[in-house]
Amino acid sequence: MIRPYFRTGVAVEDKADLSPVTAADRAAEAAMRQLIERRFPDHGILGEEFGPTRAEAEHVWVLDPIDGTKSFISGVPLFGTLIALTCAGRPILGVIDQPILGERWSGAAGRASTLNGRPIRVRPCPRLAAASLFATSPDMFHGSDAAAFARVAAAAKLVRYGADCYAYGLLAAGFVDLVLEASLKPYDFCAIAPVVEGAGGVASDWRGSALGLRSDGRVAVGGDRRVHAEALALLGV
């Protein structure tokens, strides 16, 4: 559903929050919803484009058809489709799919995460001063969150922006050490937790609590627990 629209000059609309949306976003989510409804009619669904269905269900699928629509409309292949399954509000299955590059990360509770079917592992990084730090944009941090992120960024070896969900996949595969973000919705982060954790990393909010449907949208994901702990200490939430 997404590939035929990529680099075609597809029309872009602005949603109420001024974030962009395209026919590709809507078509991809509609297709996923149809498949889920057919296979798991009692499950709930929470999608970015079409909202909640049976949100009170024990099992809820959380969908972001194109995480990184700004990259998608700019012709940059660093966006991805995020698919999560939650049980009692906690992610137990996650998929990060990049349809242009043909890369798919998969993670599930109690299983090793994979990239295109091959097991992956985070890399060791003993301290923040040796770490690469990613975030989608510095503009996602406001007020005290911006000051907290700045403290971590100042201590990191390398800071990069703009990869959206792709950065979490790179972390799980051992190429990035830390991802810090804020102002996220559940469909932005639920899928990444099982992928990162199944590769040996740690995914939490800025307080160190496990991610779930009720998380506040501030995400701290580390490949090495030592770097993750150092980052949380500097965030000071």
CATH of the domain at 154: 3.40.190.80
Domain final residue pick, 70, 93, 119: 119
Both 134 and 112 in a single domain? no
- Mean pLDDT in residue range 112-127: 98
Phi/psi at 125 (nearest 5 deg)?
-150, 110
Q: Is the pLDDT of residue 16 over 90?
A: no
Residue-wise pLDDT for 130-163, tens only, equals: 999 999 999 999 999 999 999 999 999 999 999 9
Q: What integer best gives the mean pLDDT of the chain?
A: 97
CATH of the domain at 28: 3.30.540.10
Q: Rounded to whole angstroms, what are the CA distances from 185 to 7, 74, 109, 122?
A: 27, 22, 21, 25
Task: Give dist(CA 65, CA 32) in Å, integer.
Answer: 8
Both 23 and 96 in a single domain? yes
Give the chain's length: 237
Domain membership of residue 196 as a residue range: 128-235
Both 113 and 134 in a single domain? no
Residue-wise pLDDT for 184-231, tens only, equals: 999 999 999 999 999 999 999 999 999 999 999 999 999 999 999 999
Task: Report the DSSP pairing between strands 178-181 and 90-98.
Answer: unpaired
Q: Is the pLDDT of residue 18 over 90?
A: no
* pLDDT band at residue 237 using 50, 70 and 90 as cut-offs: confident
Quick check: pTM over 0.85? Answer: yes
> Residue 208 has what pLDDT?
98
Residue-wise pLDDT for 88-111, tens only, equals: 999 999 999 999 999 999 999 999
In the chain the first and final C-alpha atoms are separated, in Å, by 40
Both 112 and 133 in a single domain? no
